[in-house]
Structure 1
Amino acid sequence: MKTRRYKALAAFAIALLSASATQATIIDDWNTIKVPPAPALKPVSVNTSDTALLLLDFNGAQDPTKGPCNTKNKPRCIASLPKVEKLMNEARKSGVPVIYSITGGATKGDIASVLAPKAGDAIVQAGANKFINTDLEKILSEKHIKTIIVAGTASEGAVLNTAAYAALKGMNVILPVDGMSSTDPYAEQYVAWHFANAPGVSAKTTLTTIDEIKF
């Protein structure tokens, strides 16, 4: 009886070892994974009374040493500036507040000149999540903001962390895919996928384009 039991246990152990030895990780399967279908983009009508536009880390355009949005490291950010400028101008015309973030070591003068802040515009300075160790949440609360439009760089940094945090706190997020940028398009792709699919985030997010945002 004991012999049979030992043999059964040994066979089970061998099976477990065999399974663990052959189980593939995501890294092993990396090159075999197919890209999922692109998420649908939707038009958005903005409620201007409770919406704010967040322009995240567009500093560095004039001097690459002063931030991530520069021709050397993130030319895709520079390429996005005309579209983001249009978005900013339309937000201002409609009375939607514009709130900026900058990275450490930068000043408001380092923000791309076409997106230069005006007197009274709030500016926070932080790492990837602009809510951490800043007054951003207080600023939004005092303005009775329920929805944020988020544009910025890097998509996998400031955009992902700030917008996801806001969504998980219950805010609505409007994310124009042509307003976020990174060094590599893959980062923009996976961020778009994340906001279209991630639990707790996707339900609060509308993926769109700048031209499809109506104030």
Structure 2
Amino acid sequence: MKNFFPETVVAFAISVFGASVAQATIIDDWNMVKAPAAPTLKLVSVDTSDTALLLLDFNGAQDPSKGPCNTKTKPRCIASLPKVEKLMEEARKSGSPVIYSITGGATKGDIATVLAPKKGDAVVQSGANKFINTDLEKILTEKHIKTVILTGTASEGAVLNTAAYAALKGMNVILPVDGMSSADPYAEQYVAWHFANAPGVSAKTVLTTIDQIKF
């Protein structure tokens, strides 16, 4: 049988399908990509016995040099604060633990005032994945947490990486789309798409809104 070398295969593809099939990349097709339909958002009934609320990187509101949630770089984060505050208050009333993260160089005093931690609330400090080089997993395990509600900024940073890690470790993830923010709405869009569709994480994630979460 005659051997087919890679260049032969490419030549064959071009002859049958045209040059675009053999040469096109997502960068070539970037402007032709159409956004898929928005995922369905669902009502969520929280089991307060094994659910924790994670508030990720809401530091910087008082001083933009102290974190990403500020009017200069992420005004969408600032805009999300009233709803996230409502969610936090409902979680506290239900008895669900509230756990915070902050970025490097910040302190818990840099967290947006309306979301300020209370005495006894855990605060971890890390990069984009809040499980890395922190006690977050230990904290959740000791509290017998099976489900996390994730809010924070940036959606494509702390939210994406922490939520994906939790889901891939077998935890359930509740992701309110109005509680995750970025500098660009596109980042929020692709994160929502990822958790609605990506293998592994989509099966463990419920996309919702803060008003659709019932404790």
TM-score if structure 1 supplies the norm length?
Answer: 0.93
Q: Label 1:209 to 1:23 Cα distance change in 2 as closer, same or farther (>3 A).
A: same
C-alpha deviation, 1:162, in angstroms: 0.1
1:127-165: per-residue Cα shift (whole Å, max 9, x none)? 000000000000000000000000000000000000000
Alignment of 1:1-215 (within 5 A): 12=8, 15=11, 22-215=22-215
The amino acid that maps onto 1:36 is: P
1:95-138: per-residue Cα shift (whole Å, max 9, x none)? 00000000000000000000000000000000000000000000
Unaligned runs of 5+ in 2: none
Counting matched residue pairs gives: 210
CA separation in 2, counterparts of 1:118 and 1:14? 62
CA separation in 2, counterparts of 1:69 and 1:88? 17
The amino acid that maps onto 1:68 is: P
C-alpha deviation, 1:16, in angstroms: 5.7
CA separation in 1, counterparts of 2:115 and 2:170? 28
C-alpha deviation, 1:75, in angstroms: 0.1
Q: Which portions of structure 1, spanning 4 or more consecutive aligned residues, are displaced by more than 6 angstroms?
A: none
CA separation in 1, counterparts of 2:22 and 2:9? 14
Unaligned runs of 5+ in 1: none
Q: Label 1:179 to 1:13 Cα distance change in 2 as closer, same or farther (>3 A).
A: closer
Tell whether the 8 Å contact from 2:195 to 2:201 is kept in structure 1 after alignment.
yes
Alpha carbon RMSD of aligned pairs, Å?
2.1
Q: Label 1:45 to 1:14 Cα distance change in 2 as closer, same or farther (>3 A).
A: closer
Matched residue of 2:141: which SS? Answer: helix
TM-score if structure 2 supplies the norm length?
Answer: 0.93
C-alpha deviation, 1:20, in angstroms: 8.9
CA separation in 1, counterparts of 2:57 and 2:23? 41
CA separation in 1, counterparts of 2:87 and 2:9? 61
Percent same amino acid among aligned pairs?
Answer: 83
CA separation in 1, counterparts of 2:49 and 2:67? 32
The amino acid that maps onto 1:81 is: L
CA separation in 2, counterparts of 1:104 and 1:22? 45
C-alpha deviation, 1:21, in angstroms: 9.0
